[in-house]
Structure 1
Amino acid sequence: MSERKPQPIRRVVTGHDDNNASKALFDGPAQNVRNSSSPGQFVTLLWSTDAMPCDMPVGESAEDMGARKLGTYPPVNGTRFMIAEYPPGNHPRMHRTETLDYIVVLDGEIDMEMDEGRMVTLRRGDTMVQRGTYHAWRNRSSDVCRMAFVLMDAKPLGIGTPVPRAGVAGDTKP
């Protein structure tokens, strides 16, 4: 059996040309795809910011903020916009991040396990606002689940132990 590959994602990024006219600066398949720590799980970074409010320079030489090789979690005051794919049978570890996450299920179905075995099932079209809770994503279905995430840095809750901001210090441009 061949190894599963992630579904291609078209990414369009708009901006302004050197004459201040609006245009698509980038339009094509998102290239920044990496394997996650769970087998068969992929994460595609679409865009990132280093601070809020973010810089949006005018001109066609704007940096492609989706091409950077970054960790999953945003830097202090930063954001990440990404698509994650969870294969059937996916059971990653429980974790908590110091982020506020906006989540949309694009395809499939997934369970979010929380403290004390509490479960919430999300299906295609469902949304979630994840506020730094201890959780794990569990795909108990027979199909891949694709989800869009916007992760935003948040003030520490002061409870539990969040996942370290691994990769933040070593973030690099392509």
Structure 2
Amino acid sequence: MVRRVVTAVSGTGRSVISNDGELRQVPYRHTPGFAHSLVWTTGAPPVPRADGPGEPPASFVPGPGETIAMTVTFPPDSVFGDPAFDPVAAAAENVKHNPGLADLFEPDAPGMHTTPTVDYVVVLDGTVVLELDDGATTTLHPGDLVIQNATRHAWRVPSDRPATIFVVLMGHAR
């Protein structure tokens, strides 16, 4: 689990911790090992607030000036090659848990998608491979950072253990 600490300004103008606790993780039944935790969202323009992220957004693709922060744990690629893996059920579950974002995944290129966002990505745990157009890849390790500029990409985990990233998606004018 990931612990989230949120600061705010009290009624007397003092800095305070308004929320300190573990984030709820949404596990995926049809893709074992895949999960995400919604860390925070902001509207446009972003304004400070002290409450939690609230209900999941109607779309996990933020509009211009909006942000979404979340952790994502990717299972090893071997999960997708397992004969018990049901890609139709997994896709439906992805649509349920990631509305808007799941719609951007390409049916003919598993995992590939293009988001109309600028994303700041930090690898927290494990090894993950960022794949871009034409099969170009780079291998990322804990502490590595990626600035993903509205490009077509996929995340792969070729090892035998999951990998977790923290990502802030920022919507931009389309």
| Structure 2 match to 1:115 | 133
Q: Would the aligned equivalents of 2:64 and 2:173 in 1 still touch at CA under 8 Å?
A: no
Q: What SS does structure 1 have at the residue aligned with 2:114?
A: coil
Q: Deviations over 1:95-143 (max 9, x none)?
A: 0000000011011101111111111111111101000111111100112
Q: Secondary structure at the match of 1:116?
A: helix
Tell me by how many angstroms 1:63 deviates. 3.5
What's the counterpart of residue 29 of structure 1?
22
Q: Does 1:145 align with 2:163?
A: yes
* Cα-to-partner distance string for 1:45-72 (whole Å, 9 max, x where unaligned): 11110112x2225xxxx432x2321232
1:87 corresponds to which of 70, 75, 79: 75
The Cα shift of 1:36 comes to 5.8
Q: Among 7, 12, 37, which residue is 1:19 paired with?
A: 12
Find the counterpart in structure 1 of residue 124 from structure 2. Answer: 106
**Distance in 2, Cα, partners of 1:20 & 1:139:** 46
For the residues of structure 2 that align with 1:34 and 1:139, how far apart are their CA atoms? 19
Distance 1:133 1:45, change over 3 A: same
Q: Which runs of 5+ in 1 are unaligned?
A: 1-7, 157-174
**TM-score in terms of structure 2 length:** 0.74
| Distance in 2 of aligned mates of 1:38 and 1:119 | 27
Counterparts of 1:55 and 1:25, CA distance in 2: 15
Shift of 1:37: 9.5
C-alpha deviation, 1:150, in angstroms = 0.7
Further displaced range: 135-144 or 72-81: 72-81
Shift in alpha-carbon separation, 1:36–1:94, aligned structure 2, 3 A? farther
Count matched residues. 142
- Calculate percent identity across the aligned residue pairs: 34
Answering whether residue 42 of structure 2 is matched by residue 55 of structure 1, we say: no
